[in-house]
Amino acid sequence: MPKKSLNVLFASSEAVPFIKTGGLADVSGSLPPVLRGLGQDVRLILPAYPEALQRIGETREVAQLRLPGHHESVHLLEGRGENDMPVYLVDAPSAFRRKGNPYVGPKGIDWPDNHRRFTLFSRAVAALGLNRAGLDWNPDIVHCNDWQTGLVPALMDHEWQRPATLFTIHNLSYFGLFSHEAFEELHLPTDLWRMEGLEFYGSGSFLKAGLAYADQITTVSPTYAGEIRTATFGYGLEGLLQFRSNRLSGILNGIDYAAWNPATDPHLDHPYDLSTLDNRIHNKRELQREFDLPERDNALLFGYIGRLVEQKGADLILDILPRLQRQGNAQVVFLGSGNPDLEQTLREAQYQFPEMVRCRIGYDEGLSHRIEGGCDAFLMPSRFEPCGLNQLYSLRYGCVPIVHTTGGLADSVVDVTAATLKNGSATGFSFLHANPDGLWYAVHRALECYHNRPDLWLELMTRGMQSDFSWERSAGQYLRLYHKALHGEPGP
Ligand code: ADP
Ligand code: GLC
């Protein structure tokens, strides 16, 4: 018997195409429409940032909410997304209509009232979740994502009739931490402040609230779901995650195959697919020109795209540049922004290695596509990586990934070894230890292969391009988990 179609409220602090700072936006923008395609009534809810209001186009006000602790009424606007999906924007001008980033002010420092802003957002999500916004739509499931929505399961926990909740961890290292004084400002139920609730060593954590109260917890790869139960990756939350083990599972992210398709990508001057791979070299030359690098067809062109933070390990790449220079015949391009010191070191590397290194500091969607479509190999030496999307984009674009064996990188890239060559599964190069020697071990093998085994390199490109990381498979897993959450069954 086919299972009943579910009403799902998908709550996120960012989603493509409305607002993006990282992979959370890619996931929140692409998973809900796929679930709708599977017959579920999924609706997205986001804060009404100026950029989101501008990008969504036409909206209508569907409700006004009075929420505890907030002096003005909050307007709930409804617009439409992909697959005709209703998208709700929580419009609280004093909290969300600010220029710049959803989380940080112009100087790159967290907005000081983030605890109030995301409590407000979570209260609005809970009001919709409990069908108290006057929409006459009763969600079966509220799917929350990361600390910004961590309070939602806690806010609904005591309700007699409430939807089931699923909380997805995209990155355990962002705790949404705040002080006890801040907690008092929020007028939350006082019993949330305890060790089994959101209290964390004298502070409060929105992330922990999600982990403690959600009916089901997921994270974005099976390997990361195991890693976060250990002290190395659990940051003190491993005990809670072990305790909740029978509700915790890992579902690998998919990618949007329409937006990331080298055959139709509007950002590429020379689109290509498996039958027209020869076009790719033109993208490489264009990219070398764009970065003002010597146009060398036979240099192995490495790419890096990502936030410049400790997690991503860009510093490890900087560390191996002298070795790469000595080895010869390689070039590296970086695209990213973040830590000012790292940005500066990258800029300086261009002068130190003028024929080999270029960086672009900033955020550039088009350039990120051109790097995937023009580089030969993609460097992702992340110290930890819950899932990672760029290695998936790289596979899709025939840009051979070089990754640290962790989290979603371990679940998506198959290292070149004697065994994987024999069974025909290798798609890239990986290394076990997140240090310069570890990275060099993989880079060195990639150089050898690129320069001496073009047949094998082509095999890696081809296999990557043929592998399937579309959302369909993972969306089915979420659906099964929604039903488990609804029936109070343990997962996964
Ligand atoms: P995270 O969410 O931890 O930053 P992911 O690999 O999951 O890492 O996703 C990052 C997303 O953000 C990818 O879509 C990537 O292409 C994009 N991205 C990161 N930095 C930049 C940048 N400087 N310019 C363009 N896109 C970027
Ligand atoms: C986080 C993680 C990244 C993941 C993304 C989307 O930002 O750092 O690994 O791919 O969320 O789930």
Count helices and strands (H / E) in the chain. 20, 18
13 alpha carbon to ligand 1 midpoint, in Å? 16
Same domain, yes or no: 246 and 278: no
Same domain, yes or no: 231 and 319: no
CB of 417 within 8 A of CB of 430? no
Is ligand 1 within 6 A of the CB of residue 267?
A: no
The confidence score (pLDDT) of residue 489 equals 80
Question: Computed from CA positions of residues 145, 150, 153, 156, in that sequence, does the dihedral angle turn out positive or negative?
Answer: negative
Is ligand 2 within 6 A of the CB of residue 385?
A: yes
Same domain, yes or no: 61 and 157: yes
Q: How many domains does the chain have?
A: 2
Measured CA to CA in angstroms, residue 322 lies from 325, 333, 343, 366, 433 at distances of 5, 15, 18, 30, 20
Which atom of ligand 1 is closest in space to residue 21's alpha carbon? 12
Tokens 């992909």 — which residue? Answer: 82
β-pairing, 74-80 vs 60-65, is antiparallel
| SS3 category, 256 | coil
Type of residue at 12 = S
Measured CA to CA in angstroms, residue 243 lies from 120, 212, 229, 247 at distances of 29, 10, 9, 9
100's CB contacts (< 8 A; 6+ apart) are 106
| Protein residue with its CA nearest to atom 5 in ligand 2 | 23
The confidence score (pLDDT) of residue 385 equals 98
The confidence score (pLDDT) of residue 88 equals 98
Provide the strand spans (E) within 31-118: 41-47, 60-65, 74-80, 86-91
Bridge partners, residue 338, by sequence: 308
Same domain, yes or no: 458 and 480: no
Is ligand 1 within 6 A of the CB of residue 368?
A: yes
The confidence score (pLDDT) of residue 263 equals 98
Q: Nearest to residue 131, comparing CAs of 49, 172, 205, 76?
A: 76
Does 2 map to a domain? Answer: no
Q: Among 363, 372, 378, 387, name the best residue to mutate to test ligand 1's pocket (greatest count of ligand atoms within 8 A of Cβ).
A: 363
Does 261 map to a domain? Answer: no
- Dihedral pair phi/psi, residue 226, rounded to 5°: -80, -45
Which DSSP helix (H) or strand (E) runs through 141?
Answer: strand 141-145
Query: Which domain covers residue 440, as residue numbers?
Result: 274-469
The confidence score (pLDDT) of residue 1 equals 41
Is ligand 2 within 6 A of the CB of residue 22?
A: yes
The confidence score (pLDDT) of residue 319 equals 98
Ligand nearest to the CA of 173: 2
For every residue of 163-216, DSSP letters joined together read -EEEEEES-TT---EE-HHHHHHTT--GGGSSTTTTEETTEEEHHHHHHHH-SE
Same domain, yes or no: 112 and 244: yes
What CATH number should be reported for the domain holding residue 330?
3.40.50.2000
Does 215 map to a domain? Answer: yes
Same domain, yes or no: 64 and 188: yes
Same domain, yes or no: 204 and 278: no
Measured CA to CA in angstroms, residue 36 lies from 19, 25, 147, 220, 418 at distances of 21, 17, 25, 20, 43
Does 491 map to a domain? Answer: no
Same domain, yes or no: 414 and 365: yes
The confidence score (pLDDT) of residue 4 equals 80
Same domain, yes or no: 28 and 150: yes
Could you say which residues of the chain have pLDDT below 50?
1
The confidence score (pLDDT) of residue 166 equals 98
- Provide the whole-model pTM: 0.97
Same domain, yes or no: 478 and 454: no
Same domain, yes or no: 334 and 222: no
Same domain, yes or no: 36 and 107: yes
Which atom of ligand 2 is closest in space to residue 170's alpha carbon? 11
Does 384 map to a domain? Answer: yes
Does 163 map to a domain? Answer: yes
Does 267 map to a domain? Answer: no
The confidence score (pLDDT) of residue 492 equals 67
The confidence score (pLDDT) of residue 280 equals 98
Tell me the per-residue pLDDT of 414-452, one tens digit each, with 9 for 90 and over. 999 999 999 999 999 999 999 999 999 999 999 999 999
